[in-house]
């Protein structure tokens, strides 16, 4: 099956709606989410969960699953709060949730729906639909948001519960169902279902879709399900990467958060330092990646001015500056003065970071256009 332009437009519209759900912040719609959980269990041929517990973040959700699996209670203060949260919701210590049902509830229905979709659309049609309805959302949500959250969550749990004794608390992360972030793939199946309404492509996925529209990450176990709230804050830059200079880029109601700068997760203590950075602190940082985050926040041009950068030369295109960075490649930038004055008569100054090998301002400016210094001869500079 070959998709028409109208088919692709429909698929793109479906993807936009799922992207909005995946990026939604604020309180979960608990009744609707719980109804979706029960439907997902029924569609998987499993008895409905006897209990459904709610927590304020994926970290708390993973810890609750660990406690419901018989993991020991001692831990940091936030872990004790999860233990108390279970008790407040009627849990009796020693009562367990049973085995994970992730495979039955999520993996197998997805595989069955994909097989049916390929049969209905053909391999080429399915690939075309995936590009129209899922490729963008997968990159924006699964790679740049859910993937980053899962990585940081694993690191945080490993720090709080190291070694073999901490494994029972870390393991539940592997069994998480991504709730709203599953919209990254549900969009393709909903679009396929609209193209082939008689194929029943969403029949086994309606429960998962219901949960994804109404809450965050969740866990399905034999006797209990654990659901979590969506984030209160989700801050991203113009290309969709988690990014915030002051505060967590993703923050949950219970206070758990992920700090990030241009998509790179950073420690909370570093995030607290960013507003008060100075040249000496940046110089002392031994981790090159962390130092780059500091430089971007502090400002390359400001760092050059305050750290005694060396002027390597100038020509009609600008001035080349060079600064060695310990344990990293040199910082080389071109200072360019806009030839068109601003309304107040001043000329704006731009700073362009260029490769360390750059030997002249002309070469650096030309590089930003994908040209060599010899090829760069602008007729008009704006």
pTM of the model as a whole: 0.81
Residue 342, pLDDT > 70, answer no
The whole-angstrom separation of Cα 132 and Cα 129 is 5
Q: Which of 30-34, 192-196, 328-332 has the lowest mean pLDDT?
A: 328-332
pLDDT, residue 382, reads 46
Q: What are the phi and psi torsion angles at 51 (to 5°)? A: -135, 150
The whole-angstrom separation of Cα 380 and Cα 48 is 70
- Residue of higher predicted confidence among 243 and 270: 243
Task: For residues 125-135, give the mean pLDDT.
Answer: 92
> Hey, is 328 helix, strand or coil?
coil
pLDDT, residue 325, reads 82
Residue 341, pLDDT > 90, answer no
Question: Residue 88, by phi and psi: left (phi above 0), alpha (psi -120 to 50) or beta?
Answer: alpha
The pLDDT tens digits for 155-170 are 999 999 988 888 989 9
Maximum mean pLDDT: which of 69-83, 189-203, 308-322? 189-203
C-beta separation of 363 from 372 below 8 A: yes
With cut-offs at 50, 70 and 90, classify the pLDDT of residue 40: very high
Maximum mean pLDDT: which of 202-211, 310-319, 358-367? 202-211
pLDDT, residue 345, reads 61
pLDDT, residue 263, reads 87
């Amino acid at each position: 099956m070959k998709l028409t332009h109208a088919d692709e437009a429909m698929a793109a519209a479906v993807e936009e709606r799922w992207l909005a759900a995946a990026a939604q912040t604020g309180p979960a719609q608990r009744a609707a989410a719980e109804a979706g959980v029960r439907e997902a269990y029924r569609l998987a041929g499993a008895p409905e969960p006897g209990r459904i517990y709610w927590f304020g973040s994926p970290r708390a959700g993973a810890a609750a699953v660990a406690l419901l699996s018989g993991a020991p209670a001692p831990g940091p203060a936030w872990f004790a709060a999860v233990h108390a949260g279970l008790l407040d919701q009627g849990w009796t210590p020693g009562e367990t949730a049973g085995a994970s049902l992730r495979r039955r509830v999520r993996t197998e229905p997805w595989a069955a729906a994909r097989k049916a979709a390929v049969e209905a659309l053909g391999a080429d049609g399915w690939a075309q639909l995936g590009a129209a309805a899922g490729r963008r959302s997968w990159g924006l949500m699964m790679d740049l948001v859910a993937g980053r959250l899962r990585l940081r969550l694993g690191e945080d749990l490993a720090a709080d519960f190291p070694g073999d004794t901490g494994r029972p608390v870390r393991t539940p992360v592997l069994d998480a169902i991504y709730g709203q972030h599953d919209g990254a793939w549900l969009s393709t199946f909903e679009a396929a279902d609209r193209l082939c309404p008689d194929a029943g492509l969403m029949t086994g996925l309606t429960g998962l879709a219901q949960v994804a529209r109404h809450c965050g990450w969740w866990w399905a176990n034999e006797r209990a399900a654990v659901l979590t709230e969506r984030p209160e804050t989700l801050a991203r830059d113009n290309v969709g990467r988690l990014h915030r200079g002051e505060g967590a880029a993703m923050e949950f109601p219970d206070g758990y958060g992920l700090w990030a700068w241009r998509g790179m997760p950073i420690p909370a203590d570093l995030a607290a330092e960013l507003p008060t950075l100075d040249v000496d602190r940046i110089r002392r940082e031994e981790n090159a990646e962390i130092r780059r985050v500091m430089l971007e926040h502090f400002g390359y041009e400001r760092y050059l001015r305050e750290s005694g950068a060396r002027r390597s030369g100038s020509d009609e295109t600008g001035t080349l500056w060079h600064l060695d960075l310990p344990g990293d490649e040199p910082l080389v930038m071109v200072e360019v003065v806009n030839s068109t004055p601003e309304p107040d008569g001043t000329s704006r100054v731009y700073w362009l970071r260029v490769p360390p090998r750059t030997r002249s301002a002309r070469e650096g400016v030309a590089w930003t256009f994908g040209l060599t210094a010899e090829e760069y001869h602008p007729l008009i500079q704006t």
